[in-house]
Amino acid sequence: MKEIYKLSFLICVFLLTFSVNGQSKNSYELKIESFLNNLTKDEFSGTILVAHNDKILDKRAYGFANIEYQVKNNVDTKFNIASITKMFTAVATLQLYEQGKLELNVPIGKYLPNYPNKTIKESVTIHQLLTHTSGTNNNFPEGNSLKYKKVSDFADFFVNDTLLFKPGIEYSYSGSGFVVLGLIIEKVSGKSYYEYVDEHIFKPANMTNTVALEVDSIVKNKASGYTSTFGESKTLRKNEYYLMKTMPAGFHYSTLEDLFNFSKALRHYQLLNKKTTELMFKPKVKGYNTHLGYGIDVDNRYNQTILGHSGGWYGIHTELMDFMDDDYTIVILSNIDDGGKKGASIVADFFKELIADKK
């Protein structure tokens, strides 16, 4: 009888231990599920993907892709991802570096000998363009002008601007610099920027729904953008006036799973070899909030490194975040901008607080 009681006691201890450990193991998932269940379309418009150990745990869609016609967002809706595009441009640049076709620390004139701005041509390096330390500005045309078709069309808008500071001495976010990187990619590869990233990034990463669009394109299952002027206005307005064609600095359209596939391909050395990937991820400079590698944010402010990039523009707020210690990937795509206190911001903050102990 004593042996039976002893056995029963050991079984109870085992079951209790298993239950506690199971609860601990899944505590993130339980909290995430509760958060997603309670998030409303009034709080967030867009889509969210949660993955752990490269397996998708959940995908959700909230709000409307088109408010006027009450068309709901779906988990496979295409969203404008704004500056997340810079990660594609950085990878493309580093692929050519890896192949020995360009150097990172020589003036760009080596690859663009006819670049009209002599000062930039002779003093700015690819390293500086990739780290926003080139001194080039963030100047782009306002309005959805249909005349911008090629990368060179965008470059013509700012090519004669003066440098903000001597290259390499400080950080200043520069979309213009990534357009110049696009010109270099075209010159060195012999392909258009759009052809290159499609062939060498999107196809190998299985990003079948990531596309470069003209402003007036008609595309199925695409979210329209609505701006609150970054939280300043209570009345939403369509963001079409502020949009431009996709370029090396921003504005591809993509989906949750495509960006998740990009994250996996990048982290598992399918786009760059291990040495070059580590070079991309290594912090180079301190930005406004995070450190930066090459075309990627390296956020070390919390209890683990978060790698990725955000995209923000009128009617756009997107986030790609890889929590490197706990192996979580979070993708957030929204078609409404915010001022940091609602929308995609509260969603991103929830995951940072839960997984990285953001205070």
Using the predicted structure, report yes or no on whether residue 13 has a pLDDT greater than 60. Answer: no
- Cα pseudo-dihedral 35, 36, 38, 40, rounded to 10: 130
In terms of phi and psi (left: phi > 0; alpha: psi -120 to 50; beta: otherwise), the region of 224 is: beta
Using the predicted structure, report yes or no on whether residue 11 has a pLDDT greater than 90. Answer: no
The mean per-residue pLDDT over the stretch 153-166 comes to: 92
Q: How confident is the model at residue 126 (pLDDT cuts 50, 70, 90)?
A: very high
- CA pair distance 329, 324, nearest whole angstrom: 9
What is the chain's alpha carbon radius of gyration, rounded to the nearest angstrom?
23
Using the predicted structure, report yes or no on whether residue 14 has a pLDDT greater than 70. Answer: no
- 13 half-sphere exposure, CB direction, 13 A CA radius: 6
- CA pair distance 80, 66, nearest whole angstrom: 14
Q: How confident is the model at residue 16 (pLDDT cuts 50, 70, 90)?
A: very low
Q: How confident is the model at residue 143 (pLDDT cuts 50, 70, 90)?
A: confident
In this predicted structure, what is the pLDDT of residue 124? 98
In this predicted structure, what is the pLDDT of residue 195? 98
Of the listed ranges 85-89, 182-186, 250-254, 337-341, the least confidently predicted one is: 337-341
125 secondary structure, DSSP code? B
Residue 35 structure tokens: 């958060």
pLDDT in tens, 46-93: 999 999 999 999 999 999 999 999 999 999 999 999 999 999 999 999
More confident: 256 or 143: 256
Burial 313-325 (b: 16+ CB within 10 A, else e): bbbbbbbbbbbbe
- CA pair distance 283, 270, nearest whole angstrom: 21
pLDDT in tens, 189-232: 999 999 999 999 999 999 999 999 998 999 999 999 999 999 99
Q: Which domains are present in the chain? A: 35-356 (3.40.710.10)
> Residue 318 in 3-state DSSP?
strand
pTM of the predicted structure, to 2 decimals? 0.92
pLDDT in tens, 89-115: 999 999 999 999 999 999 999 999 999
pLDDT in tens, 291-325: 999 999 999 999 999 999 999 999 999 999 999 99
In this predicted structure, what is the pLDDT of residue 164? 94
Phi, psi of 275 (to 5 degrees): -65, -45
pLDDT in tens, 230-243: 999 999 999 999 99
Q: How confident is the model at residue 23 (pLDDT cuts 50, 70, 90)?
A: very low
Enumerate the H helices of 99-241 as residue ranges. 118-123, 126-130, 151-158, 175-189, 193-197
What separation, in Å, do the N-terminal and C-terminal C-alpha atoms of the chain show? 55
In this predicted structure, what is the pLDDT of residue 18? 39
